[in-house]
Amino acid sequence: MVAARGPLRALGRFLDFATHGRFRSGLYPSEPRMTRALLLLQVQDALIQGASHRDIGVGLFGNDHVAAQWDGPSDALRSRVRRLVRDAGKLARGGYRDLLRRAPEKS
């Protein structure tokens, strides 16, 4: 029965579209990992263009935020950018396949 969930969900979405003539957002829940995946793609694009870590921080979080926190007592913002750069590199070296693998949905 578990294997039938995906096809049944697709059929239900198709029937709902046929009935209402539009895609209703309630039938398409957001992907929780999407925000991070989009950040990683932005970071990878910036790296390809030769951006520094600080440039990436400004692009993602804004100049005011970086100016206030980049050289402050906490290196949280710098560490976040470093992690994003590291993970964007993994993504570019084949880690994108992990994004395509999805855990089975629970219903």
DSSP tag of 103: P
User: Is residue 25 domain-shared with residue 52, that is, in the same domain?
Assistant: no
User: Is residue 55 domain-shared with residue 83, that is, in the same domain?
Assistant: yes
User: Is residue 39 domain-shared with residue 85, that is, in the same domain?
Assistant: yes
User: Is residue 50 domain-shared with residue 69, that is, in the same domain?
Assistant: yes
* Range(s) of the domain holding residue 17: 1-30
DSSP for 24-47? Answer: -GGGSPPPTTHHHHHHHHHHHHHH
User: Is residue 3 domain-shared with residue 25, that is, in the same domain?
Assistant: yes
Task: Pick the more confident residue, 99 or 82.
Answer: 82
User: Is residue 104 domain-shared with residue 92, that is, in the same domain?
Assistant: yes
Residue found by looking up tokens 């629970």 in the block: 106
DSSP tag of 104: P
The model's pLDDT over 12-55, given as tens digits with 9 standing for 90+, comes to 999 999 999 998 888 887 777 888 889 999 999 999 999 999 99
| Res 2: pLDDT | 73
Closest CA to 82 of 59, 60, 57: 57
How many structural domains is the chain composed of? Answer: 2
User: Is residue 24 domain-shared with residue 35, that is, in the same domain?
Assistant: no
pLDDT band at 107 (very low <50, low <70, confident <90, very high): very low
pTM (2 d.p.): 0.66
